[in-house]
Amino acid sequence: MRIVFMGTPEFSVPALEELVAQGHDLAAVYTRAPKPGGRRGLELQPSPVRAAANRLGLPVLTPKSLKTEAEAATFAGFEAEVAVVVAYGLLLPKAILDAPRFGCLNLHASLLPRWRGAAPIQRAIMAGDAETGIMVMAMQEGLDTGPVALAEKLTIDPEMTAGEAHDRLSRLGADLLPRALAALARGSLVFTPQAETGVTYAHKIDKAEARIAWTKSASELHNLVRGLSPFPGAFFEADLGKGPERIKVLRSHIAEGSGIPGMVLDDAPAIACGEGALRLTIVQRAGKAPMTAQDFLRGARISAGTSLTAGN
């Protein structure tokens, strides 16, 4: 099929690569414009999708908006049979949605209608969901409201992080999308309206949500750690000898024990929560690489009896 692909982050790349490998005609790739990056934030960094498209020899467009008549005309000029959207990051106006013969398909990383919106993978894990998935849906003007066709489910292991779920769902989506396009070409892709009940929204992660509040239960905090790992990372602050320092927690386990919330209970370390205790296993100090909690303790002034109150 003749396709316009629209995506931006690393999550989108396997789907783009698979469409090329399957022999589809990629008329153009749309992605977000480069952002400042590099060591000093001065160099413009192309999106992962742009880097992949360049490697594959595909034409790339990076408009700041799709709402102008000129952009609508450019898009229509590709004469695509279908547009495929995978975490693009820009809203598609009606003129864009209606341009392709078969409309626009979106690969969305949740089991709709649960977790519509920007951060479905993180929100599912932060909420303690037992499963999530990835779905092919027909795009409408509403936020992830269109009817759905194919889906693949993913069991969320109690220790699974958002990063691990991200990688699994990205691969599942790359396998699912060509199947959907094959059915679409045959005229056998059936769309079903989303249920009207069970709608939840996966709002963007706010920086304030990443701060660990030890008054919450160990279960809640474990889900927070998993849901925000590896980025942006749940964190607490502690004085390690040179004033307050931010420490990210990238992996944890629910542990036995209790005490005043924020109190270090042992040298593993396990931290008392509002209910139960949380054992830190992988942490990251500011400007340093992730390390085991044991390596962290060798250079930190944190021991049993220390109170970590900055996160309360």
Domain edges within the chain: 2-201, 207-298
DSSP conformational letter for 10: G
What pLDDT, on the 0 to 100 scale, is given for residue 312? 40
| pLDDT, tens only, 218-236 | 999 999 999 999 999 999 9
207-298 matches 2-201 in CATH topology: no
C-beta pairs of 19-27 under 8 Å, 24+ apart in sequence:
19/84, 19/177, 19/178, 19/181, 20/56, 20/58, 22/178, 24/178, 24/181, 25/1, 26/56, 26/58, 27/2, 27/3, 27/59, 27/78, 27/79, 27/80
How far is the C-alpha of 177 from the C-alpha of 295, rounded, in Å?
43
Q: Is 57 exposed, middle or buried (0-12, 13-18, 19+ CB in 10 A)?
A: exposed
- C-alpha radius of gyration, the chain, whole number: 22
- Which CATH number is associated with domain 2-201? 3.40.50.170
Per DSSP (E only), the strands in 60-187 are: 60-61, 82-86, 104-108, 116-117, 131-138, 148-155
Measured from the Cβ of residue 36, the count of other Cβ atoms closer than 10 Å reads 10
How far is the C-alpha of 180 from the C-alpha of 150, rounded, in Å?
7
How far is the C-alpha of 156 from the C-alpha of 158, rounded, in Å?
6
What pLDDT, on the 0 to 100 scale, is given for residue 139? 97
What pLDDT, on the 0 to 100 scale, is given for residue 37? 67
pTM, rounded to two decimals = 0.94
Q: Which residue has the tokens 């629910």?
A: 254
What pLDDT, on the 0 to 100 scale, is given for residue 40? 57
Asked if residues 6 and 163 have their Cβ atoms less than 8 Å apart, the reply is no
Which CATH superfamily is 207-298 part of?
Formyl transferase, C-terminal domain (3.10.25.10)
- The phi and psi torsions of 137 (rounded to 5 degrees) equal -130, 155
DSSP conformational letter for 50: H
Nearest to 124 by CA among 137, 112, 142, 136: 112
What pLDDT, on the 0 to 100 scale, is given for residue 173? 98
Tokens (6 digits) for 180: 């959907």
**What SS3 string covers 189-215?**
CCCECCCCCCCCEECCCCHHHHECCCC
Report the chain (312 residues): mean pLDDT per 10 consecutive residues: 98 98 98 77 85 98 96 98 97 97 98 97 98 98 95 98 98 98 97 97 95 97 98 91 88 96 93 97 94 88 79 40
What pLDDT, on the 0 to 100 scale, is given for residue 125? 98
What pLDDT, on the 0 to 100 scale, is given for residue 51? 97
Q: How far is CA 168 from the centre of its chain?
A: 11
Distance in angstroms between the alpha carbons of the first and the last residue of the chain = 55
Q: Which residue has the tokens 């590709």?
A: 78
How far is the C-alpha of 90 from the C-alpha of 78, rounded, in Å?
19
How far is the C-alpha of 152 from the C-alpha of 72, rounded, in Å?
33
